[in-house]
Amino acid sequence: MSLSERSRVELGVNPWAARVAEAQRRGDLLDLTCTNPTQVGLPYSPALAAALGRAAEAPYSPEPLGLELARAAIAERWPGRPRGLDASRVVLCSSSSEAYLHLFHLLADSGDELLCPSPSYPLFEHLARLAGVRLRPYRLEYDGAWHLDLDSVRAACGPRTRAALLVSPNNPTGSFTTRAELAAMARLGVPILSDEVFASYPLRASRLRAESALAELASADVLVFALGGLSKQAALPHYKLGWVGLSGPARLVEPALARLELSLDTLLAAAPPVQHALPELLRLSEPTTAALRARLHDNLQTIAAACAGSPVTLLDVEGGWSCLLRLPYLPPRDWSLSLLEQGVLTQPGWLYELPPAHLVLSLLTPPPRLREGLERLVRAVLREV
């Protein structure tokens, strides 16, 4: 028996994961990486379960693109309130990961290419392999702030390029795509897939950043797909609902919607009770997301204060749930492994294809754990430099 190449996985445990598992068995490990909002002590309304229970009593009527009441609720709450976005240009699925697969299948044939930012979330590699497409990376550069290297974008674009991926704010850099960068990407002449799952969590104001590709490119002659979901917008990853908003001229949007409808109808993966309950779920989640935003801002200030005057640099971050630290480069040292010996779990930057000596921290970390972890981290660095 042979199995497909696109389903190939490396089943062994890499050395870093093995060391993490060993440290977890020892105990006393301060985890500064958790981005699961249900596991970091945020308040959740008990009325959420009741709302979902009532919605489960609604009769089942399959709608491939999603229930109109849910699609309308999403359009009304989209960051930046894009002009022309209504229920007819929103489609639902079970997650943003599933949305990516539908969009990859819609836009690209086997062997076609998609432009993808680097650094970015490693999930894209797995999704591209499952879809039978190839990723062509373009660079995000840092010079005190993050920006797209547009020369690398143009260099990555080739005859088999079928779409360009954006993540705004990016995971893990926390950088928003600017209006000028969006306009430059639109001039490539290929559809844009803009992952905006963290767009509801800006950490500082900037007149340059784009609220949403749907809003900024509403009048452009380009097909835009913007992704969001309950996981981030309402801090409800376990309720499993994602969505895609479309913008562009009707001659591009209408055939795309028709093909997406068939693709979505094949799976019918979005749970109807969650769709029925969505307007209430969004309302009931507001105290949770307010507490989450307050923690993001407070934790960012805590990290900045801990790094001040030390060899550890907090890189500029504009939004999202993570931040980057740059530590002194002392080859062959891997700071993430050294910190495990001090009982501190961080994510190594190489997981995201960042240069050496970068670490990724979660801004959702409970504050007492974060403070103690930062104290250990800074002490460990000071001992070595």
How far is the CA of 186 from the CAs of 1, 264, 302, in angstroms? 45, 26, 38
User: Mean pLDDT, the chain, as a whole number?
Assistant: 95
pTM score of the predicted model: 0.96
Look up residue 159 and give its amino acid. P
pLDDT of res. 26:
87
Q: Quick one: pLDDT at residue 314? A: 98
> Does domain 59-284 match CATH 3.30.2090.10?
no
Amino acid 13: pLDDT: 75
CB 193 within 8 A of CB 163: yes
Give the right CATH number for 27-43+286-384 from 3.30.70.60, 3.90.1720.10, 3.90.1150.10, 3.30.1490.110: 3.90.1150.10
Question: What per-residue confidence (pLDDT) applies to 297?
Answer: 98
How far apart (Å, rounded) are the C-alpha atoms in residues 308 and 215? 37
Q: Which stretches in the chain have pLDDT values below 50?
A: none
Q: What is the pLDDT of residue 80?
A: 78
pLDDT at 84: 81
Domain locations along the chain: 27-43+286-384, 59-284
pLDDT, residue 322, reads: 98
Residue 375 has a pLDDT of 98
Q: Which two tokens stand for residue 100?
A: 């990516």
- The answer to whether the CB of 193 falls within 8 A of the CB of 166 is yes
264 neighbors 102 (Cβ within 8 angstroms): yes
pLDDT, one tens digit per residue, over 6-60 is 888 777 778 888 899 898 888 889 999 999 999 999 999 999 999 999 999 999 9
Q: Which residue has the tokens 């935003």?
A: 293
